[in-house]
Amino acid sequence: MVKTDFLIIGGGPAGLCAAIEASKRNVKTLIVDEGVELGGQLVKQTHKFFGHEGFYASVRGFEIAKRLISELGENVTVMKQTTVTGIYEDVITAYDREKDLVIEIEPKYILISVGASERFIPFENNYLPGVYGAGAVQTLMNQFKVLPGRRVLMIGSGNIGLIVSYQLLQAGAQVAAIVEIADRVGGYQVHADKVKRLGVPILLRHTIKKAIGEEKVEGAVVVQVDENFNMIPGTEKEFAVDVICVAVGLVPSVELAHMAGVKIEYIPELGGYVPYRDSHMRTNIRNIFVAGDLAGIEEATTAMIEGRIAGLAVSQEITGQNLGFELEKMQEELIEFRSGPFSHKVRKGLERFFPQYVRDYSKNSQRDLGPATKLRPIIECYENIPCNPCQTSCPSGAITVPGNINSLPVIDYSKCTSCGICVMKCPGLAIFMVQENYQPGKDLVVIPYEFLPLPEKGETVIALDRDGEEVAQAEILKVVKSANKTHLVYMLVPAGLTQTVRGFRIPQKAHSLVCRCEEVSVEEIEKAIDEGYTDYEELRRYLRIGMGPCGGRTCRVITLGILARKTRKNIKEIGFGTFRPPSMPIKFDSIIKGEIKDEK
């Protein structure tokens, strides 16, 4: 029997923040989490968060997880790879997968912060290998460094679908299209703009009809829908893909809460069935609290705030301290984050439990683009989302987000120093810098860039518009690297394109194989020669040229020609290496059989 004051089921953002608040007040706390590491969804989120710096704005999700874990006090015990299997009147049971045993836990207070599971949709052949949920793709790709496939069709244009599409592109996969059944993008426009300027089409009023393939996904058929979401015959489109990624929303994981006797209500605005809770995250069961996506599908930032509220409320009851000021402060944070238009549904859903409040915010976007003679930022963020790192990061105070954090930012160009910090900090990659007539016939455009490899000074690239369409050739003026991995790429573009160019593509070099057996390319051989491998035998040992089944019949002469060109020698001056037996691949088994026969 494990006894504790405060049991937290689920070590994601809500659970970790609750534990931090409890540990500050010396509350004996136990976190039980079924993951291999704490952090929940944070550990697989490589994008930067919105919000303000008090809740890790412009910090990437996996880095937030590390920070939260580092704040846990010594009075917090953690049990990982452990799943709570039952909540009974007098005890809680949990299965420890590492030790292969069931344990019993007796807590005074409980926070259930187990998050949500992925919503799925029926379509023909959706059982085929290659059909994934977006969370599974993120886990494979960002947590375990496994790319699920090379060409992906994304179903759903909410923030998760848009973010995972962008991360797939970063990992080297292709995204054939994003399919959305509604008539508008479901997530933030800045997320949609990021993938659109990389050339990914978003098909509105479409849905998936079937997956193609026998033993695995080899393609997909999508179809248009009418205003009632019925499929329109004859509008089918076929895509050659090896992955279908489904990102159509989340469902709160209410199983444990219901098991514990918590009142469950169906509130579609919060994601479906959710547990009752008050403004302090307490359920109808006095000692049971809930927080995070289990309490209603929202952003990770609101999950962290809810977790802190639950941790403060439990700490207040256990220690007897008056934490009213701290609780009120967290409540004010929630009100501000939920005041924007994207939280309208959440506010409507929460009205079922307790009154909701909003703060005014500015809906006016700035259209004054500043003086053409100066390098200056252009903010292309036209939606009221809770975010202000552009304001807090500006060293000269040139950017303000007036009033509510959901207001649109405004620039005072007379104060701007053209430092570019706001471009690096923007979580939505929605800030660019431009200057007309930087050189005769050339304008300057500065792009935030999060891909590898980085371009090099003087390199020629293909400039792209907001839809990923090629508009011109551009020259890289310089690259400013950033510690947060959002780098600044300064590009010279033809005059008149400062309001058009919003991305670029590095031209792909032709990949020509010399040694087809060992898949050694011209580029690899040239690079090795530049590194000092100027003898054929050295190259052979270093790159395995000629060590394949053909024994170098094709690649030896080609390699010698590349050596002669790169070293500026006559091919006669270069030794052609040594020919070694066997002249063709022979199995060891055949050699052994021959020796045995000779002995007989």
What is the pLDDT at residue 177? 98
Residues 112 and 257 in one domain: yes
Q: Quick check: is 129 in a domain?
A: yes
Residues 112 and 127 in one domain: no
Please, which pLDDT band fits residue 600 given cuts at 50, 70 and 90? low
Tell which residue, 299, 243, 300, 247, has the closest CA to residue 119. 247
Please, which pLDDT band fits residue 553 given cuts at 50, 70 and 90? confident
Q: Quick check: is 105 in a domain?
A: yes
Q: Looking at the DSSP assignment, which residues form a beta bridge with residue 478?
A: 490
Contact 102, 88 (CB under 8 A): no
> Of the residues 196, 231, 248, which one is the last residue of a structural domain?
248
Q: What pTM, to 2 d.p., does this model score?
A: 0.85
> Of the residues 446, 474, 505, which one is the last residue of a structural domain?
505
Please, which pLDDT band fits residue 551 given cuts at 50, 70 and 90? confident
Residues 515 and 580 in one domain: yes
When pLDDT is averaged across residues 10-28 and rounded to a whole number, the result is 98
Judged by DSSP in three states, 248 sits in coil
Q: Quick check: is 55 in a domain?
A: yes
Q: Quick check: is 371 in a domain?
A: no
Residues 152 and 224 in one domain: yes
Rounded-to-integer distance, Cα 390 and Cα 85, Å: 45
Residues 331 and 238 in one domain: no
Domain holding 225, by residue range, is 120-248
Tell which residue, 217, 60, 159, 234, has the closest CA to residue 178. 159
Residues 236 and 283 in one domain: no
Q: Quick check: is 365 in a domain?
A: no
Beta-strand relationship, 442-449 and 410-411: unpaired
User: Which helix (H) or strand (E) is 379 found in, with range?
Assistant: strand 376-379
CB atoms within 10 A of CB 118: 16
What is the pLDDT at residue 509? 65
Q: Is pLDDT of 250 > 90?
A: yes
Average pLDDT over the chain, rounded to whole?
Answer: 94
Residues 15 and 107 in one domain: yes
Residues 278 and 338 in one domain: yes
When pLDDT is averaged across residues 441-458 and rounded to a whole number, the result is 96
Residues 521 and 541 in one domain: yes
Q: Is pLDDT of 246 > 80?
A: yes
Q: Looking at the DSSP assignment, which residues form a beta bridge with residue 220?
A: 211, 239
DSSP string over 509-526: PP--EEETTTTEEHHHHH
Residues 244 and 255 in one domain: no
User: Which helix (H) or strand (E) is 478 found in, with range?
Assistant: strand 470-480
Q: Is pLDDT of 135 > 90?
A: yes
Q: Is pLDDT of 407 > 70?
A: yes
What is the pLDDT at residue 6? 98
Beta-strand relationship, 131-133 and 116-118: unpaired
What is the pLDDT at residue 561? 86
> Of the residues 485, 505, 525, which one is the last residue of a structural domain?
505
Across 568-577, b (16+ Cβ under 10 Å) vs e yields eeeeeebeeb
Rounded-to-integer distance, Cα 300 and Cα 584, Å: 60
Tell which residue, 2, 3, 20, has the closest CA to residue 310. 20
Q: Quick check: is 370 in a domain?
A: no
What is the pLDDT at residue 552? 82
If one counts the domains in the chain, the total is 4
DSSP string over 141-186: IIIS-----SEEEEE--SHHHHHHHHHHHHTT-EEEEEEESSSS-S
Residues 269 and 284 in one domain: yes
Beta-strand relationship, 29-32 and 2-9: parallel
When pLDDT is averaged across residues 561-567 and rounded to a whole number, the result is 87
What is the pLDDT at residue 576? 75
When pLDDT is averaged across residues 472-481 and rounded to a whole number, the result is 97
Rounded-to-integer distance, Cα 87 and Cα 259, Å: 6
Strand ranges inside 202-305, DSSP E: 202-204, 206-212, 219-224, 237-239, 243-246, 250-252, 264-267, 272-275, 288-290
298-355 residue pLDDT tens: 999 999 999 999 999 999 999 999 999 999 999 999 999 999 999 999 999 999 999 9
Residues 111 and 257 in one domain: yes
Q: Quick check: is 356 in a domain?
A: no
In the structure, how many helices (H) and strands (E) does the chain have? 15, 30
Judged by DSSP in three states, 259 sits in helix
Rounded-to-integer distance, Cα 504 and Cα 532, Å: 34
92-124 residue pLDDT tens: 999 999 999 999 999 999 999 999 999 999 999
What is the pLDDT at residue 511? 66
Q: Is pLDDT of 488 > 90?
A: yes
Judged by DSSP in three states, 461 sits in strand
C-alpha distances in Å from residue 336, one per residue of 45, 95, 300, 330 = 24, 40, 15, 10
Please report, for the domain that includes residue 537, its CATH number.
1.10.10.1100
Q: Quick check: is 364 in a domain?
A: no
When pLDDT is averaged across residues 266-276 and rounded to a whole number, the result is 97
Please report, for the domain that includes residue 126, its CATH number.
3.50.50.60
Tell me what percent of the residues of the chain surpass a pLDDT of 90.
Answer: 83
The distance in angstroms from the start CA to the end CA of the chain is 72
CB atoms within 10 A of CB 3: 12
Tell which residue, 223, 230, 320, 293, has the closest CA to residue 13. 293
Rounded-to-integer distance, Cα 26 and Cα 22, Å: 6
